[in-house]
Structure 1
């Protein structure tokens, strides 16, 4: 039986007891009180034993709690040490990674700067080569045009000489036979007169059939007709002089040789087998013009001829 329950019954018994009129006294049932006291006497050893068991369990629980506390504390210290060590390793790894990244960035920047310098140097070299080749091409073109000009001048002279050998036109004959006022006339000394050459038969041009006069001939047709009649008369007058005139030799060989120089095939220039350096832009990788000094000797030979 619970000891506290018995105490409650005693308290109830005292509360329900009949009070005495004199003093603070009450009438209690003796039998009931003794019964409760016996029950308490029986219940006290049981409570004491339970209290002893609880105290014994408490000590065991305390010991287990102390062991658990020590174990948890050791585990916490070990975990804390591991975390500290991991943190230090992480910081070291992070610092090493940052150092490696800075070193890689510095090396990359050095490579970029070196590549930029190399590219700028190669571009300057390519521009210099292109400038030299363009200047050589300009010199070759100028030389070729000068040669062409000389050959064309020779050809024009040859053509002019051939034109002079042809029969003169009325205008050129009038200019050649007209006396010049600024040149004094010099009398030639008398010399033995050679017998006159045989006179050729006069040249008679073919007469065009006369056109019947129109009722009203316009002014332009009349001028054409007068010009044609005058030209026919001049042809008749110049026929003997044309028959006596000796032909002039026509120097054709020089002009033809000069003109043939332009038509001669160019000598094949050996193609360079040089492998260009990587990264150099060579716009003149094709077969270059024959502007080298080794080809100029051939062009001088052509000019001398």
Structure 2
């Protein structure tokens, strides 16, 4: 007898037993109940082993199915990625990106060349201004040097004149 049949038999015993008046209780044959419980207990280990094996097999099957599903999912994602990479929209987008990058590099070169040209013009203008200022400075220095030379010469001439007068006076005194 298996456990389920024994449990059903135990239920029949309770259902067919005499009832205690004025209560929900029943009177059962203690020996008969204990015999059924003993039989259930003797069959339980085998039934438990079977149920545990069934549960472990169920878990193993589920785990294998999940692993297989994940592997299939991974393969499908890779397939989709490869299809996307080969798709004409992706290829067109990559082509546009390269063109935009090329245009940006060309524009950057033009801006750099324009900036270098502008700096070159500024430096040439500055060099020209420095030449003009140097020429003006040299002319001013020459004018001032000539003026100073004339003044020094005049001062020397005045001093010589004074010295000559002093010499004349000294010679007259003698």
Residue among 149, 154, 157 paired with 2:160: 149
Residue among 73, 77, 91 paired with 1:80: 91
1:113 deviation in Å?
A: 0.2
- Tell me what 2:117 maps to: 106
1:135 deviation in Å?
A: 0.3
- Tell me what 1:118 maps to: 129
1:39-90 Cα offsets, whole Å, 9 max, x none, are xxxxxxxxxxxxxxxxxxxxxxxxx99xx86774344224322221110111
The residue matched to 2:126 in structure 1 has which SS? helix
Structure 1: stretches of 5+ with no match in the other structure: 1-63, 164-305
The residue matched to 2:162 in structure 1 has which SS? helix
1:162 aligned onto 2:162: no
Tell me the TM-score normalised to structure 1 length.
0.30
Q: How many residues align?
A: 100
Cα RMSD (Å) of the superposition?
Answer: 2.6
Larger helix percent: 2
Aligned partners of 1:73, 1:81: CA distance in 2, in Å? 14
1:18-167 aligned at under 5 Å gives the runs: 72-77=82-87, 78-163=89-174
1:161 deviation in Å?
A: 1.3
Larger Rg: 1
Given the superposition, is the C-alpha separation of residues 71 and 152 from structure 1 closer, same or farther in structure 2, using an over 3 Å criterion? closer
Q: Which structure ranks higher in relative contact order (CA pairs < 8 Å, sequence separation ≥ 6)?
A: 1
Tell me the TM-score normalised to structure 2 length.
0.52
1:179-209 Cα offsets, whole Å, 9 max, x none, are xxxxxxxxxxxxxxxxxxxxxxxxxxxxxxx
1:96 deviation in Å?
A: 0.3
1:225-282 Cα offsets, whole Å, 9 max, x none, are xxxxxxxxxxxxxxxxxxxxxxxxxxxxxxxxxxxxxxxxxxxxxxxxxxxxxxxxxx
The residue matched to 1:108 in structure 2 has which SS? helix
Aligned partners of 2:129, 2:168: CA distance in 1, in Å? 58
Aligned partners of 1:124, 1:98: CA distance in 2, in Å? 39
